[in-house]
A and B are shown apart, each in its own frame.
Chain A
Amino acid sequence: QQQVKQSPQSLIVQKGGISIINCAYENTAFDYFPWYQQFPGKGPALLIAIRPDVSEKKEGRFTISFNKSAKQFSLHIMDSQPGDSATYFCAASRTGTYKYIFGTGTRLKVLA
């Protein structure tokens, strides 16, 4: 119930293409869903986050789509660039628990 399942494990996309990473959760009490971007040897950095009262949130080239009934959410990176090559983690948390449950990560490589 506490798991967040993330797929794919790795992803290769051509420059200018769309990168899509998916996550699924079981615990319907989760109410905050952030995405983190991590470059090698660095700590994860918050990229974008969504709460279940909206179905989509867009910030620049990054969009989160949220499907509450399916208990799934996804990250879309439009016009993917080589500089987007990194590992992406989805996460989920529930108000009052102070804990963040992370997916296992997706290693994205954008080819020039």
Chain B
Amino acid sequence: SQTIHQWPATLVQPVGSPLSLECTVEGTSNPNLYWYRQAAGRGLQLLFYSVGIGQISSEVPQNLSASRPQDRQFILSSKKLLLSDSGFYLCAWSGHQNTEAFFGQGTRLTVV
């Protein structure tokens, strides 16, 4: 069966520090991968998605970037965090047909 791992679960970082969140998927190959951000009490905002290694599409201009160095690995990064980067970050994967997306357990990022 397929599983998605996302870490760390919580993170407190000072303003101006770098960020690296990692997500890996097991049990499937060539998945679509996604990074979402969820602000407190709000919906899910799509940040990046990837349909293959090295292929990254950005949905909104921001202080973040994403990379896909391996088929089942998706990384969310920032060189210098802003206070506004605080939020709940979710990684997800889906198959290449129009099927359901499966989410990781999320990372609660607090920038102080």
Instruction: List A residues at the B interface (Cβ < 8 Å).
Output: 6, 31-32, 34, 36, 41-46, 49, 89, 93-96, 98-100, 102-105, 107
Contacts and interface: CB of A to CB of B under 8 A. Distances in A.
A76 B4 CA distance: 29
Most chain B CB within a 10 A radius of its CB, from A6, A31, A46, A103: A46
B98 A44 contact: no
A100 B43 contact: no
Interface in B26-63: 32, 34, 41-44, 46, 49, 51, 59
A96 B96 CA distance: 8
A93 to B, nearest CB: 6
Contacts, number: 54
Contacts of A32: 98-99
Interface of B: 6, 32, 34, 41-44, 46, 49, 51, 59, 90, 92, 94, 96-106, 108
B108 A41 contact: yes
Contacts of A93: 98
Nearest to A30: B98
A111 B16 CA distance: 44
Nearest to A97: B98
A101 B85 CA distance: 21
Contact of A42 (B32, B99, B106): B106
B108 A105 contact: no
Contacts of A89: 43-44
A102 B106 contact: no
Contacts of B106: 41-43
Nearest to B6: A43
Nearest to B88: A41
Contacts of A41: 106, 108
Contact of A43 (B32, B41, B98, B105): B105
Contacts of B90: 43-44
Contacts of B98: 31-32, 93-96
B105 A42 contact: yes
Contact of B44 (A94, A96, A102, A107): A102
